[in-house]
Amino acid sequence: MSKHVAMIYGGWSAERDVSLSTGREVSKALREKGYAVSEIDATRDLARQITSLSPKPDVIFNALHGRWGEDGAVQGLLEILNIPYTHSGVRASAIAMDKMSAKALFRENGLPCAKHIYVSRDDIKNGIALPPPYVLKPNNEGSSVGVEIILNAEEEENMLARDWVHGDGVMQEEYVAGREMTVAVKDGEAMEVIEILTGNHAFYDYQSKYANGGSQHIIPADVPSALRTRVRDCAEQAYRALGCRGVARADFRYDPEHDRLAILEINTQPGLTPTSLVPDAARHEGMSFADIVAWMVEDATCER
């Protein structure tokens, strides 16, 4: 008898549309692999939605993205319900979603980070924050939601004149010029390094990530073997530092002029949409999309 997988997706975070796309792809792949799949568009009554399923799910495939679904909250609920689930557990999910907390652990473990501070808009207005160029990031959003690159004083002035809808406190991070790279880590082992080319976009923003043709993924990245090893080692170290499980993805910037590598963040529930990076990394290793999601199901446990 095939496993009954309840695939939870949607929800109400800023990344709902991304989650819906991930969920559609995952459901199709799991059915292709012979699993019985129930789809749940998550609401705040998720516990009832899950427990009302018959038969009881053998596994929860967590295809939620963003706050609540990716920050340890749902993971805690699933542990209370005692149903094995995919991706990382409560602690790793909560830390990874809180950018300042993740950076603290990265630094503690000797990983290369760009200078960063937690600031308010008033701090920026009063000149007690980092000077341009810098990057502003909501402290607990994903998929580059709300991220802005401020290159000069004029851009800073324009930013301050606009309404900011992502909370008063943000992470301000030194801007590292250069190349964008990412590494998926599966069960603690780094996959191939991917370079992301974003064309006319200043960085790997929401549009670059999810629009067809928004970015180009170069796999393997055209980098010297020593740099490839360095990036992969950093990704594995970040995965271990946070206590991640399943498949996660670490993002980096590399400044070739100064041979400077900086880890940006680790994503504990990377997208599985038609334009996502993890499927590319899996294909490079000879795994189809259906293979990688089936691996996640078989890897699922209740204590992650």
What is the H or E stretch that residue 279 is in? helix 277-284
> Is residue 143 among the annotated active site residues?
yes
> Is residue 251 among the annotated active site residues?
yes
Residue of 265, 276, 280, 304 marked active site: 265
> Is residue 249 among the annotated active site residues?
yes
> Is residue 267 among the annotated active site residues?
yes
Q: What is the rounded radius of gyration, in angstroms, for the C-alpha atoms of the chain?
A: 19
Residue of 85, 271, 276, 304 marked active site: 271
In degrees, rounded to 5, the angle at the alpha carbon of residue 239 between the alpha carbons of residues 244 and 72 is: 35
- 111 phi and psi angles, rounded to 5 deg: -80, 145
- Measure the CA dihedral 263/304/296/245, to 10°: 20
Q: Can you tell me which residue has the tokens 């810098």?
A: 134
Largest interatomic CA distance in the chain: 64
Residue of 141, 251, 254, 280 marked active site: 251
**How many CB atoms are located within 10 Å of the residue 40 CB?**
22
| 29 Cβ neighbours under 8 A, 6+ residues apart | 289, 290, 293, 294
Residue of 11, 13, 15, 228 marked active site: 15
> Is residue 25 among the annotated active site residues?
no
Residue of 179, 249, 253, 304 marked active site: 249
Sign of CA dihedral 207, 135, 183, 68: negative
> Is residue 189 among the annotated active site residues?
no
| 270 Cβ neighbours under 8 A, 6+ residues apart | 184, 247, 248, 249, 276, 277, 278
Residue of 9, 204, 210, 254 marked active site: 210
Residue of 9, 267, 276, 280 marked active site: 267
> Is residue 144 among the annotated active site residues?
no
Contact by Cβ (8 Å): 304, 89: yes
> Is residue 85 among the annotated active site residues?
no
Residue of 19, 21, 27, 143 marked active site: 143
Residue positions annotated with a catalytic role = 15, 143, 210, 249, 251, 265, 267, 271
